Amino acid sequence: MPPSRAALPAVLLLVLPLVTAACGSEGSGSGTGAAKPRTATTLTHAVEQEPDCWDPHVSAQDVTSFLQRPVYDSLVYQTPDGSLEPWLATRWQVSPDGKEYTFTLREDVVFHDGSKLDAAAVKANFDHITDPKTNSQYAAGLLGPYKGIKVSGPYEVKIEFERPYVPFLQAASTTALGIAAPASLAAGSDKLCAAGDGSVGSGPFKSGPYVRGQERTYLKNPAYAWAPKSAGHAGPPRLDSLKVRFITEDATRIGALTSGQVDTASAIPANQLTLVKDNPKLEVLDKQVPGAVNTFYLNTKSPLFSDRRVRQAFQRAIDIDTIVKSVFQGLYPRAWSVLSPTTPASYDPTLEGTWPPDPALAAKLLDEAGWTGRDAEGYRTKDGKRLTVVAPIYGKPSTFSQAVQGDLKKSGIYLQLAASTDAIEVGSRLDEGRYDVVELSWARGDGDILSHFFFSDQTSKNSGHNFAQVADPEMDQWLTAAQTAQDPAERAANYAKAQRWAIDQAAVVPTYIDTQNVGFSTRVHDLRLGISAHPEFYAAWVEAP
């Protein structure tokens, strides 16, 4: 199951923004052994979704970031282990107060339209992202407390923030902040957004023909000579062209892969995984998506959940291991922290196993909290009122949510999956705090995602995602310390405190870790999953049949 589908339950999950660069590696497809790279080849990839809008500065869709990565380079490159290295910027410097970033650019970079990368080009990109007319759904948000950009030399820009903002470097590595040729930005949204062939960047592949609803072709950029050091290859890509086909129907996509009509395919569903793995001509790579895992955020301000005992009862009543195993058939592992283990330098592994399911404890806590009665259906009651946990859901409740609902019933808790297709109704529920729990996941290759969920000013009304309604001075202090600390270890220590606090306070119930996979023919070599868990095609090549 693709994360985008699994994530549907919450209003914000119509799209799964992924603030990670689709670069880096997670193991190589198969050994480069005896076969010699054949450069005159095309690789065909089947993807499960087609972007609505192709402009990564506008779109919040994960798939847009993934499919534009071959076209757009970024200032910074994030390796699979999360460290950041030069890409379009050869180096950068942070001012002592942490509010200003100075980037020195490469001088040899040429966009696909022949224009050169310089400081003015970078400024044009940041201006485009922050222009209200762009209607940026995501990239502008990534800039956080952005103040402005200044050209300080032909190949040097200074980016200023209102306050120290360490997560910016990681943000700068994403496709959402990818650098496009300035002329293409001026071409208007119908070129940039609607027509994928209007994208002009400096990446290893150029936009080729595009047929909406069918396929997009990418052509090799023979001039490419500025790959980041850890990209696994240097110079122009090995493939002459790359073709991405939009095959939304699972059965068709997997059939196309097993019958060799495509070389690689994204999002192999759990029920087809064994079939693909058992096929001697196919292999599967998978990777856990970094960022915030699928989590229940408990509204610590709601009448029901303002009682910590009730929150804890909810947290310990769910048999997460069993449900995750049965719903995802081993595809996704269960989670112990809000953060995914692949989130660079911020995951706290000491949380693992610390809060196993304990229905007896849950029962004891509920008794203490006064939920001692039972109604005809076996749910607990207090003063004649049923123990009802309201969970607003945008669209249809997922199988997983329904399984949790069934499991909670055993402990006498009624999880009310309040499904609605009215975005505004769900949105106002969230804004006004009329809910007990919200379930969602949010991918990002940086621990700063915690700030979006736990910083006191990140309320739903303020376009934040503090669904647990946490307003804790200590939490704010840890998150601010992490945002301003230059030392990764210090950041990680602060993020660890935040993760532990969220579990201890039962503000969250992390459930499972979204995992993305790609199935590919054994003829495909050097295919890698980037940090965002999407395949990267730059170094890939296909053996002749």
User: Which residues contribute to the site for other proteins (CB under 8 A)?
Assistant: 11-12, 14-15, 17, 50, 52-53, 60, 132, 135-138, 140-141, 189-190, 193-194, 211-215, 245-249, 251-253, 255-256, 258-259, 261, 422-425, 427, 463
Smallest distance, other proteins to C-beta of residue 268, A: 15
CA distances 441 to 18, 344, 367, Å, are 11, 17, 32
CA distance 94 to 165: 10
Q: Which is nearer to other proteins, 243 or 334 (CB)?
A: 243
Smallest distance, other proteins to C-beta of residue 457, A: 14
By three-state DSSP, how is residue 41 classified? coil
Cβ burial, residue 476 (10 Å; 0-12/13-18/19+): middle
Tokens of 41: 């080849």
Tokens of 497: 């405190």
Q: Which is nearer to other proteins, 427 or 488 (CB)?
A: 427
Q: Which is nearer to other proteins, 466 or 494 (CB)?
A: 466
> Cα–chain-centroid distance for residue 246?
20
Dihedral sign for Cα atoms in the order 490, 493, 497, 502? positive
CA distance 335 to 314: 16
Smallest distance, other proteins to C-beta of residue 135, A: 5
Smallest distance, other proteins to C-beta of residue 259, A: 4
CB 45 within 8 A of CB 263: yes
Q: Which is nearer to other proteins, 215 or 407 (CB)?
A: 215
Smallest distance, other proteins to C-beta of residue 427, A: 6
Q: Which is nearer to other proteins, 212 or 385 (CB)?
A: 212
How does DSSP assign 72-122, residue by residue? -B-SEEE-TTS-EEESSEEEEEE-TTS-EEEEEEPSS-B-TTSPBP-HHHH
Smallest distance, other proteins to C-beta of residue 191, A: 9
CA distance 22 to 537: 10
Q: Output DSSP code: residue 339.
A: B
Q: Which is nearer to other proteins, 159 or 440 (CB)?
A: 440
Q: Which is nearer to other proteins, 60 or 169 (CB)?
A: 60
Between the two ends of the chain, the Cα-to-Cα distance in Å is 30
Smallest distance, other proteins to C-beta of residue 420, A: 9
Smallest distance, other proteins to C-beta of residue 19, A: 12
- Token pair 């506008």 in the structure block, residue: 58
Q: Which is nearer to other proteins, 137 or 337 (CB)?
A: 137
The C-alpha angle with vertex 348 and arms to 344 and 349, in degrees rounded to 5, equals 105
CA distance 442 to 12: 9
